[in-house]
Structure 1
Amino acid sequence: MQLVELDLSRNDIPEIPESISFCRALQVADFSGNPLTRLPESFPELQNLTCLSVNDISLQALPENIGNLYNLASLELRENLLTYLPESLAQLQRLEELDLGNNELYHLPETIGALFNLKDLWLDGNQLAEIPQEVGNLKNLLCLDVSENKLECLPEEISGLTSLTDLLVSQNLLQVLPDGIGKLRRLSILKVDQNKLIQLTDSIGDCESLTELVLTENQLQSLPKSIGKLKKLNNLNADRNKLTSLPKEVGGCCSLNVFSVRDNRLSRIPSEISQATELHVLDVAGNRLTYLPISLTTLRLKALWLSDNQSQPLLTFQTDTDPETGEKILTCVLLPQMPSESGCQENLPRCGALESLVNEMSDETWNERAVNRVSAIRFLEDEKDEEENEMRTLLRRATPHPGELKNMKKTVENLRNDMNAAKGLDSNKNEVNNAIDRVTTSV
């Protein structure tokens, strides 16, 4: 009866007895990882309980009177089978940490807004289609994780989360972010990757404390000019979108250390990027760049990625002149980039590997003829009959036919001509020819 802490986690206990209610001094209890399906009805009588962990126990429902645990500060319910939350949950006025991740919640009660002292709220991995506007009442909330749900929008009232530092909304169905997000002046980490964003609100520039912004795998065609106001931004990732241009204001992100816009549709990088003097890693692979601004030479870059199979983080560049504008530019063997659509033969010069040539061959040439071709090697012994010999047969598959190799060689020779004719590569002509000669010889 004087027990203060009880840890029964990761056992095979199928049921907690009702008599646990006699442990009136109990403050910390962990029942995680047991084959439990319910908590005893007498459980809410443990009114000194401050920390309760019941993760991964196949819990289907909470006791309706769980609000009686009025001293509870931490409640962990991750990886269960909860489909709803009892209304009495709102009575846990001292609750600071609530973990409901990886359950089966379809609805979040409006009373969630009554948990005024809540600092961390995890709702990831559920089935939520919306967040009640009352969540904006959680003035002390520091971290909100609603990733891996089915959210199509966030309430405008999210602007009330004035203490929020981490907002994670990855893997949802969001097309826009509410303008009120600009009022989250303490927000440091914002992850909106794997959504359906078609635009990024201008108010993002008002998130003055933002250090990490992840926009990977959306439908963005542009970034707002206001992004240049994010003076503390350290990491900006907008890979796999539909960006056709970057605002010159991005150079205003004076603390930017890592900037990644891989697999977009960019045709140029603004020269103002050089104003981001702390930039060390720039990833622009998988775009349509014809050249790079010469201003990049003023940066102390440690890595500049132009291609998926680039062997070194930095390349040797040559200066050239843009015939259209007359300005000095930077170019190298990997520029100009080609469109990133798969199956395009023009992509092959950027790969430079025999494996890529094989992958680009037509289905009829390779998949059917080569993969399905079988030759047999048999080992015969005088004492064995022919039926037994059949069991000792080795099959050899998928060796390219000499005719296929000739086609591959012809493709490589065509690439030689294309690359020699490519603009800005004259100074590298001998190096490129030697590289292709090695590939041709191996074929």
Structure 2
Amino acid sequence: MELPESISYCKTLQVADFSGNPLTRLPESFTELRNLTCLSINDIALQVLPENIGNLCHLVSLELRENLLTFLPESLSQLQKLEELDVGSNELYNLPETIGCLVSLKDLWLDGNQLSELPPELGSMRSLTCLDVSENKIEHLPEEMGNLLSLTDFLVSQNLIDMLPESLGKLRRLSILKADQNRLVHLPESIGNCESLTELVLTENQLVSLPRSIGKLKKLSNFNCDRNRLMSLPKEVCHPSHWAFLIHETQAEHFIRRQA
């Protein structure tokens, strides 16, 4: 039910996992465990993190999935060694601007929250390789997303996004882009510059056309844009020898059959 304050005496503790217990808080002395590198406190109904969690300066991995967190403390930005942060399935409504200070972060899971926007400062996380913001209420993505030059996996499914930023084309290492179940009406022409894309999922949007530049994505093996409003396809995407097409359940279905 609770952790004793005396846990702070475990000065050499490096890995701690309290997941699945009925804890609702951490003792105030917990942040004195300065040698912690991995902390997992998933699914414990945690409502708030210690304000001084930034004192855990050696943390490399922090898992907080399936809790009741509504905000992240500003001191989180002090975790300069943090490479993995999982706060999926919480009740976060916004992110602190200082989250951009986590310059070592490689994996960030924010899925299943109540976020309506992402701070532009997120673009400062140049080491980020995986970003999952699916199942939120995001309407717009900042142009600064184009600064995430190390990004390989970008998941924005099940949001309210009507357009992707033009700066997306700067993400030359991007391999997986999932933007299904949004409100996309068109794609930026710059998407053709994402030369490493192997998987592009655009199911259940409002797309009426596709940019010709998609034909430049020679590594694309899975292209899924069924349940949109496509009436035709540009000729540049009608050579499916190196793609696995899934564009059925649209007005373009007859067009694809004719091209085959």
1:297-336 correspondence to structure 2 within 5 Å: none
Query: Which of 23, 26, 51 is the aligned partner of 1:36?
Result: 23
Count residues in correspondence.
260
Tell me whether 1:216 sits opposite 2:203 in the alignment: yes
Give the match for residue 269 of structure 1.
255
Q: Contact 1:230 / 1:253 at 8 angstroms: preserved in 2? A: no
Deviations 1:331-372 (A, max 9, x none): xxxxxxxxxxxxxxxxxxxxxxxxxxxxxxxxxxxxxxxxxx
Identity of paired residues, percent?
Answer: 69
Question: Alpha-carbon deviation of 1:251?
Answer: 3.8
Q: Could you say which residue in structure 1 is the equivalent of 2:57?
A: 70
Q: Is the 8 A contact 1:233 1:253 kept in 2?
A: no
Partner of 1:292: 258
Cα pair distance change 1:25/1:157, threshold 3 Å: same
Q: Sort the Cα spacing of 1:241 and 1:27 in 2 relative to 1 into closer, same or farther, 3 A.
A: same
Q: CA deviation at 1:255?
A: 2.8
Aligned mate of 2:245, from 234, 255, 259: 259
CA drift at 1:252 = 5.6
- More RCO (CA 8 Å, sep 6+): 2
Post-superposition, which runs of at least 4 consecutive aligned residues in structure 1 deviate over 6 A?
Answer: none
Determine which of 41, 49, 54 is the counterpart of 1:54: 41
User: Is residue 2:232 matched to residue 1:235?
Assistant: no
TM-score by length of 1: 0.58
Counterpart Cα distance in 2 of 1:253 and 1:93 = 45
Offset, 1:232: 0.4
CA contact (8 A) 2:25 2:46 kept: yes
* Secondary structure in structure 1 of the residue aligned to 2:62: strand
Question: Partner residue of 1:405?
Answer: none
Instruction: State the secondary structure of the residue aligned to 2:47.
Output: coil
Q: Which amino acid aligns with 2:79?
A: L
RMSD: 1.1
Q: CA deviation at 1:64?
A: 0.6
Amino acid at match of 2:30: F
Unaligned ranges ≥5, structure 2: none
Contact (CA 8 Å) 2:201, 2:223: kept in 1 or not? yes
Return the alpha-carbon distance in structure 2 between the equivalents of residues 241 and 172 of structure 1. 16
5+ residue gaps, structure 1, are: 1-13, 271-290, 297-443
Residue in 2 that maps onto 1:135: 122
Q: Residue 269 of structure 1: CA displacement?
A: 2.8
Q: Which residue of 2 aligns with 1:89?
A: 76
The residue number in structure 2 matching 1:320 is none
Give, as a single letter, the amino acid of the residue that structure 1 aligns with 2:42. N
Shift of 1:268: 4.3
- Deviation sequence 1:120-177 (CA, Å, 0-9, x none): 0000000000000000000000000000000001000001100000000000000000
Q: Answer with 1 or 2: which has the greater Rg.
A: 1
| DSSP 3-state at the match of 1:231 | coil
1:26 CA drift (Å)? 0.4
